[in-house]
Amino acid sequence: MPNINRNSYKEYTKEHIENAIFFDLEQNSDQNSELPHMLPEKKIWEKIVSSMGISNKDKIVIYDNSDVISSCRCWYTFIYFGHNPKLVHVLDGGLKKWKLEKKPLTNSIPIPSRTNYNAKEKNALVKDKEQINQNIIKKKFIVVDARSRGRFDGKDPEPRKNVRSGSIPNSFCIPFGEVINQNHTFKNRSKILLKFNNIFGSKLPQEVVFSCGSGITAAVLALAYSLINNKYDPTIYDGSWAEYGKI
């Protein structure tokens, strides 16, 4: 996030779960976009995943040490590029919970053997600004924003330069922190269900698109929603407020 002075790779080299491979969320996004954290091109993604030694049939467990639970964005990206959703998991609680439970860590860096990963984009799982604008009138899907209520309501400033305060018309707000416990685990399903029932009522819709500041915490809500709606395919407005609120 902006203004957070952390070197994630340096943190990884000091301590990580044995055999864990480092995934750089910044570098593995679209480097040609002015917007942060946008999905990379298919061929670039194939190179990234191949260099990590991951094959199409591998089970993947993703964790992070981030207050914004960035592992969920990686989870979403693998699913968007066609990895079997049943094989992609997020370690509940991430490194924070792992360390609290005094589980083993290492500073040994694994060297993966290169693979030949083949991606297949699921274009329905991402929305662009034009689709978001069309939906304000057509109302084919519901947009839920993961930012804080202060930012959503336009009362608090945005952390990025040249981005105004406010929210997408007709969208709803569930701050991502409201589905997460203090130890970075997801809240139980009944509490998550209650959050979404407050917006949707008792019937959970399939056509839900999540947004946030730059597409990271939107994925937290997408994963939370999939925990209570196992037929839901995670769908995100990739540009999020960094694009929609741009001055």
Which positions are catalytic? Answer: 212
Cα Rg of the chain (Å, integer): 18
Is-contact 45 81, C-beta < 8 A? yes
Does residue 211 contact residue 219 with C-beta atoms inside 8 Å?
no
Helix (H, G, I), strand (E, B) or coil at 208: strand
Kindly give, in sequence order, each residue whose CB lies less than 8 Å from that of residue 182, ignoring residues fewer than 6 positions away: none
Say what angle helices 217-228 and 71-80 make with each other, to 10 degrees: 70
Distances (CA, A) of 242 to 53, 93, 140: 32, 27, 23
CA 215 to chain centre: 6
- List C-alpha distances in Å: 76 to 52, 73, 98: 17, 5, 22
Which DSSP category does 52 fall into?
T
DSSP secondary structure letter of residue 153: T
